[in-house]
Chains A and B, each alone.
Chain A
Amino acid sequence: MRRSFIARNPSVLYFLAALALFTAIVTILSEATGTGLISTSFVKTLGKTLCLCLVAIAMDVVWGYCGILSLGHFAFFGIGGYAIGMWLMYARTELIVIESLAGQVIPPTPQEISDAIGNQIFGVVGTSEFPALWAFADNLYVQLAFVVLVPGLLALVFGWLAFRSRVTGVYLSILTQAMTLALALYLFQNDSGLRGNNGLSGLQNIPGFADSGQDVVSIVFFLASAAALGLGYLLFAWITDSKLGNIIQAIRDDESRVRFLGYHVESYKLFVFTVTAIVAGIAGALYYPQAGIINPAEVAPIASIYLAVWVAIGGRGRLYGAVIGAALVSLLSSWFTGGGAPNIDLGFYEVQWVDWWLVLLGLTFVLVTLFAPNGIGGLFDRLVRKS
């Protein structure tokens, strides 16, 4: 007898319920809606964490389910952030420029306005010319389309080249690292058109919502992030539950056997790689307005490696595992490195968590790999099965 999607995947329902409950609690306790028990900056941290969970489940699908250890998915996340950041920065600068020029006796010409905006944005890298990349920066809808299209197309082209040549395993991981490194190096250049190492800033100010305080903006983005995570979770749960889910897991376990069954393995990998890249781009577009700034260091190779570490600690091959891993490790990381954790004075040496957090994380990663290969999610599964 065939059962419904939810009956086959009870964890989807539990996850969505938990997410809804969490969202409701945070909303009620936020500054915007009254009680103010949770500060605006912490609402932003939580909202960003939800975006990281979204990119983590994408990573879990591409790695945990399909077996492609991509160490470049944070590049797609960053591209999504840049795409939306360009509009945010342009539109806000435009508002400021128009306001400041409004006092002049002679009304400014469109050319003057454009020059002033260019000067404001690119003065920091010694130019006032708009690079070709910014051709559509004034159009929110085009930039929103770029959030999806640019990561999608990059993944499609990169994946097609890599998978067609049957690059697998560690070689593919290195190739994806090279991709994200190349992107970071390109962005670091001052003449890249994206303000070099200054990146894009002031992204927390949403044009058109100048009257709303950051407390309102933060809760709106928090809710949007929660909705995106919920929808992303549903999408990936549906994909992994479909027959395509069976095929990609089979590809993970024995790629050549799948070929002899008559499946074109490369198309499947390309599909998964591209879909997850798009979701990563969307997650990035929601993340950076909450972070307020994006710069090339965000897409440095290490970021994508952290992503893999989160998924490994949380538990590969189960979507909630990726969520647990990403949420836990990224929140702990900001707690330890943000001065939240008290330093330990050993008398002869003071353990400062800012320095020692990475050691702790590395140690955890080693321990998880050795003793709990299925991560926290795996331990969770064992408990559920016992009861």
Chain B
Amino acid sequence: MTSLLEMSGICKSFDGFQAINNLSLNIGEPELRAVIGPNGAGKTTFMDIITGKTKPDRGTILFGEENRSLIGMSESQIATLGIGRKFQKPTVFEGQTVRENLAMALKNPRGPFAVLFYRKSDTGAAQIDEIADQINLTAHLTRPAGELSHGQKQWLEIGMLLAQSPRLLLVDEPAAGMTAQEREHTTDILKVAAQTRAVIVVEHDMEFVRRLNCKVTVLHEGSVLAEGTLDHVTKNPTVVDVYLGRSDAGH
């Protein structure tokens, strides 16, 4: 396992509120990592900073073998570098079909002219079929994405991430609003994805994190509070104090 993403000394404040405070984190490739923390721990800001949506006040983020700095890059540059992000609220393009959604995400040239003259290829179609199979949406390829159920939209969005073939996948609360059965399938999708790439899952639901069975990072007030297996961190008295002790997570 080699290191893929190195964040060190990241700070970010909004109007005096310290959202991220001297945060340092390393992710290997391949690796599955869960990031947990109470509300306001800075989980979303943490993702915003990696994906270029928010610029940190201080600190460095290095990505890949060439240790390229992500700070100052635009969202689209970071995305083409191989970092994909799934939002908390499923954001798929509802007016377009499942196939069109996946086709837009496929790893292909991203310039307007290349896209204008893009011709559908058999390899592209095969890739779409393969991903659709993984996310259980083969039967729904020609349906508008807006007609899908909430869980299916979540999968479609994960599928769109996979289609980008990113090296690092950031997944924000993938199991939110899913039925028990859907959660199980989501766990499988993420575990398979993490066999070949780095996957960071931000999650609230402890049961879901337990099922992922991976290393856990606990965020609190914008910095790393503890790191290790779920059992290890849940035994940590500070973690119990700030998070598990006073929240309803873990049911």
Contact = CB atoms under 8 A, between A and B. Distances in A.
Interface of A: 2, 239, 242-244, 246-247, 249-250, 253-254, 256-265, 267-268, 271
B95 A249 contact: yes
Contacts of B120: 2
B91 A257 contact: yes
Given A242-B118, A250-B93, A259 B75 contact: yes
Contact of A244 (B76, B91, B93, B116): B116
B118 A257 contact: no
Contact of A262 (B76, B94, B100, B112): B76
B247 interface: no
A268 to B, nearest CB: 5
Interface string B206-235: 000000000000000000000000000000
Most chain-A Cβ atoms within 10 A of its Cβ — which of B51, B87, B115? B115
Given A244-B116, A254-B93, A262 B111 contact: no
B85 A260 contact: yes
Given A256-B75, A260-B79, 18 more contacts: A2-B120, A242-B116, A242-B117, A243-B116, A244-B115, A246-B93, A246-B104, A249-B93, A249-B95, A250-B104, A257-B87, A258-B104, A260-B85, A261-B160, A262-B76, A265-B76, A268-B112, A271-B116
Contact of B103 (A243, A249, A263, A271): A243
Contact of A264 (B76, B100, B116, B164): B76
Contacts of B113: 271
A244 B112 contact: yes
B13 interface: no
A246 B160 CA distance: 14
Most chain-A Cβ atoms within 10 A of its Cβ — which of B51, B93, B164? B93
Given A244-B116, A249-B96, A259 B76 contact: yes
Nearest to B125: A2
Nearest to A254: B91
Nearest to A271: B112
B80 interface: yes
Contacts of A253: 93-95
A48 B31 CA distance: 64
Contacts of B80: 262
Contacts of A256: 53, 75
A250 B92 CA distance: 9
Mostly, the A contact residues are helix
Contacts of A247: 104, 115
A262 B79 CA distance: 5
Contact of B79 (A259, A267, A268, A271): A259
Interface in B18-65: 51, 53
Most chain-A Cβ atoms within 10 A of its Cβ — which of B74, B76, B80, B105? B76
B118 A262 contact: no
A268 B51 CA distance: 20
B110 interface: yes
Contacts of A263: 76, 110, 115
Contacts of B51: 260
B159 interface: no
Interface in B66-94: 74-76, 79-80, 84-85, 87, 91, 93-94
B110 A262 contact: yes
Contacts of A264: 74, 76, 110-111
B47 to A, nearest CB: 10
B105 A261 contact: yes
A8 to B, nearest CB: 11
Nearest to B160: A261
Contacts of A268: 112
A250 B112 CA distance: 14
A239 B93 contact: no
Most chain-B Cβ atoms within 10 A of its Cβ — which of A242, A249, A259? A259
Given A253-B95, A261-B104, A263-B110, A243 B75 contact: no
A225 to B, nearest CB: 26
Nearest to B118: A243
Given A257-B91, A262-B80, A250 B160 contact: no
Contacts of B100: 246
Interface string B116-160: 111010000000000000000000000000000000000000001
B148 to A, nearest CB: 15
A104 to B, nearest CB: 57
B248 to A, nearest CB: 31
B104 A243 contact: yes
Most chain-A Cβ atoms within 10 A of its Cβ — which of B103, B110, B164? B110
B18 to A, nearest CB: 25
A168 B53 CA distance: 17
Contact of A261 (B95, B117, B164): B164
A250 B96 contact: yes
Nearest to B75: A259
A267 B111 contact: yes
Contacts of B96: 246, 249-250
A239 B116 contact: yes
Contacts of A250: 93, 96, 104
Contacts of B116: 239, 242-244, 271
Nearest to A261: B105
Most chain-B Cβ atoms within 10 A of its Cβ — which of A243, A247, A253? A243
Nearest to B112: A271
A256 B47 CA distance: 14
